[in-house]
Amino acid sequence: MKLKKVIALTGASSGIGEASARALSHSPHMLVLMARNAGKLNAIAKELECPVLVLETDVTDTNQIESAFKTIQEKFGGLDVLINNAGVGYFDPIDDAKLNEWHTMIDVNIKGVVNCLHYGLPLLKNSVDGQIINVASVAAHQVFQNSGVYSATKHAVGAISKSLHLELGKQLKITTISPGAVDTPFVDNTSNEEMIDDLKKYFAGGLDPTVVAEQIIHCIEQPLNVAISEIIVRPKR
């Protein structure tokens, strides 16, 4: 018999996050959808069949994150799975990049994960099958041209996952999902006009986000005594 779990998902309004929410629609689980765009979250929630709580949340805002996890505790009595999926990427030559974009990647991709861990861990440690799923990237394993700081943030996510496993691996399942290119609006914010067309073509040839969502669900549905540490999934080119 499968456990009914409380699952919190950041970056749930689009891309891999939205695909994961929809993939869990027919599950017995209770979903907490977290993102900055409440309108998109509510639209998604209306189409899901499982119990859903929508929390308009910016992962870089510690006050909002603290409030979100307090609400989860009050509404559901705990948390079983935290999926740290919120992320942003900007791609530029390192000598022509914008400092504010570097800061944004660090704030969302690293600090956002840290913020959710800080307030989520006390709840997860009380679960009988607590799990943290950090969505990283193949950029956590190699550095790509024009994405030095982005790659650095994903290496950091990988390091955080390894540390969690070393320190809390006997209490919690720690999983890292490292996708290659995924066909999402991920690069739409890139401001480099010379690169944007090539980037969009490259990512358009990537994985459908449902493929990554399926890997996430696969990790969640493992038996109590099975923990998947990492999945690397990329398009065949």
What is this structure's pTM? Answer: 0.94
User: What CATH number is given to the structural domain containing 114?
Assistant: 3.40.50.720
**Do residues 135 and 87 make contact, with C-beta atoms less than 8 angstroms apart?**
yes
The mean per-residue pLDDT over the stretch 108-125 comes to 99
Beta bridge partners of 52: 31
Containing structural domain, residue 123: 6-233
To the nearest whole number, what is the mean pLDDT of the chain?
A: 94
Assigned domain for 61 exists: yes
Assigned domain for 167 exists: yes
Measured between alpha carbons, how far is 14 from 121 in angstroms, rounded to an integer? 25
202 tagged catalytic: no
Domain count, the chain: 1
DSSP 59-123: TT-HHHHHHHHHHHHHHHS--SEEEE---------TTS--HHHHHHHIIIIIIHHHHHHHHHHHH
Assigned domain for 220 exists: yes
Assigned domain for 80 exists: yes
Assigned domain for 1 exists: no
Assigned domain for 97 exists: yes
- Residue 194 confidence (pLDDT) above 90: no
Measured between alpha carbons, how far is 229 from 190 in angstroms, rounded to an integer? 31
- Residue 57 confidence (pLDDT) above 70: yes
Quickly count helices (H) and strands (E) in the chain.
Answer: 8, 7
Res. 236 pLDDT band, cuts 50 70 90: confident
Assigned domain for 12 exists: yes
**Do residues 36 and 17 make contact, with C-beta atoms less than 8 angstroms apart?**
no
- Residue 81 confidence (pLDDT) above 80: yes
From 90, 119, 150, 202, the catalytic residue = 150
Alpha helices in 24-61 (DSSP H): 38-46
Whole-number pLDDT of residue 2 = 64
Assigned domain for 136 exists: yes
pLDDT in tens, 27-36: 999 999 999 9
